[in-house]
Amino acid sequence: MAFLGLFCLLVLHSVALGAVLPDETLADLSVNTYNRLRATAEDENIFFSPLSIALAMGMMELGAQGSTQKEIRHSMGYDSLKSGEEFSFLEDFSNMLAAKESQYVMKIANSLFVQNGFHINEEFLQMLKKYFHAEVNHVDFSHNVAVADRINQWVENNTSNMLKGLVSPRDFDATTHLVLVNALYFKGNWKSQFRPENTRTFSFTKDDESEIQIPMMYQQGEFYYGEFSDGSNEAGGIYQVLEIPYEGEDLSMMLVLSRQEVPLATLEPLVKAQLIEEWARSVKKQKVEVYLPRFTVEQEVDLKDVLKALGITEIFIKNANLTALSDSKEIFLSKAIHKAFLEVNEEGSEAAAASGMIAISRMAVLYPQVIVDHPFFFLIRSRRTGTILFLGRVMHPETLNTSGHDFEEL
């Protein structure tokens, strides 16, 4: 019997990208995945990359045939595309995001680690290189400590040393035949940065009404802003949407904030791909006072559980049809992991900001104020195509660590 492991990992910094996949594809995948995570992680932070999931699943799909492939296409939302067209989209998408001329840094790397002597179909390998620019590494999974080291080294190098210790030796044994890895790294600066001396300690009220102290960044500037109604009368039923662009304005972070008294959970059921598009269409550039926590979010997702919930099940069972990958009839996917990390700070990027203590008063409101001092929903999207690259929510920003990142324990 053979096992196949899949790791999909993503590291990003203050983030974003641009894209060409049909919008609704990744938007639906994003929202469905979010809802799944929401159901299993009540009151927890959520953060993941739909892009990374789509790339990892794309590599798997190349190896699938018959009903296994059909199920993947359907669940990923590719039914309306011509057969195989999704691979060109994913390739274009990666090329465009990682384009050298952009004002952010984006690195996308894919790799196949395969057991020495295990036969992989030549055509699969060629397509993996053509569409995903994947590297092929031969390893011996029975030396599980050495393999884990090697994969971790690869991941570390391809994430600018941000992510360490992704896999552990116990993930592999003599039955492991191959592992596919996607690594993603992003770093971008805000178009309008926050001044570190304006950051100060502020209370953040969690949905259970307990308060914690967090570093709150502040600036007044031109952003895309809108107010929307959730259709209820609770606290006026109004919620705010703020879009903060990164340098170059191709990518932005969109924040969705309910009124202080209203738990985020009352907004979440409204979130649909079409609503996200409506937010994007409706926000208007205007002066806004922004209070945004400096925060990090990290999450490890059992992607197998998510994919199954999305309807991708056959690839995980013994009669998975992966005949495009290998003639071996025995191969199926045993694990799928997704990890993601985000840090938002004053620059929009890595630099550790010293917190000056300049007081900020909640003075008379000249402009709309967005005070992100309670749980919020956010996404990072391409302003050109609307494609969602990252999606998450922050329930407890106390997981924030200002002293750099140590992924040793991830």
Ligand X SMILES: *[C@@H]1O[C@H](CO)[C@@H](O)[C@H](O)[C@H]1NC(C)=O
Tokens of 387: 């494609």
Cβ atoms of 246 and 16 within 8 Å: the answer is yes
Nearest CA-CA partner of 5 in 153, 145, 151 = 151
What φ, ψ does residue 4 adopt, rounded to 5°? -130, 130
> How many residues appear in the chain?
410
Binding segment toward ligand X, per CB under 6 A, in 12-20, 139-147, 240-248, 400-408: 400-408
Query: Which residue's CB is nearer to ligand X, number 191 or number 396?
Result: 396
Q: How far is the CB of 67 from ligand X (least distance, A)?
A: 7
Between 38 and 67, how does the x/- string for binding to ligand X read (CB under 6 A)? ---------------------------xx-
Is there binding between residue 175 and ligand X (CB under 6 A)?
no
Binding segment toward ligand X, per CB under 6 A, in 29-37, 153-161, 163-171, 235-243: 153-161
Binding segment toward ligand X, per CB under 6 A, in 284-292, 344-352, 379-387, 395-403: 395-403
Is there binding between residue 158 and ligand X (CB under 6 A)?
yes
| CA–CA distance, 141 with 220 (Å, rounded to integer) | 54
Q: Bridge-partner residues for 302, per DSSP?
A: 337
Count of C-beta atoms within a 10 Å radius of residue 208: 10
| Interface size with ligand X, residues (CB under 6 A) | 13
Query: Which residue's CB is nearer to ligand X, number 31 or number 108?
Result: 108
Candidates 78, 113, 154, 185; binder of ligand X (CB under 6 A) is 154
Is there binding between residue 282 and ligand X (CB under 6 A)?
no
Is there binding between residue 109 and ligand X (CB under 6 A)?
yes
Is there binding between residue 80 and ligand X (CB under 6 A)?
no
| CA–CA distance, 144 with 142 (Å, rounded to integer) | 5
Query: Which residue's CB is nearer to ligand X, number 280 or number 342?
Result: 342
Nearest CA-CA partner of 278 in 234, 232, 235, 226 = 226
DSSP code string of 133-193: --EEEEE-TTSHHHHHHHHHHHHHHHTTT-----S-GGG--TTEEEEEEEEEEEE--BSSP
Cβ atoms of 222 and 286 within 8 Å: the answer is yes
Cβ atoms of 295 and 400 within 8 Å: the answer is yes
Element (H, E) at 391: strand 388-394
Candidates 329, 351, 354, 358; binder of ligand X (CB under 6 A) is 329
Query: Which residue's CB is nearer to ligand X, number 65 or number 313?
Result: 65
Binding segment toward ligand X, per CB under 6 A, in 1-9, 23-31, 225-233, 401-409: 401-409
Candidates 126, 168, 274, 399; binder of ligand X (CB under 6 A) is 399
Residues 253-272 that bind ligand X (CB under 6 A): none
Cβ atoms of 259 and 192 within 8 Å: the answer is no
Tokens of 392: 């998450």
Instruction: Give the residues lining the site for ligand X (CB under 6 A).
Output: 65-66, 109, 154, 157-158, 321, 323, 329, 399, 401, 403, 406
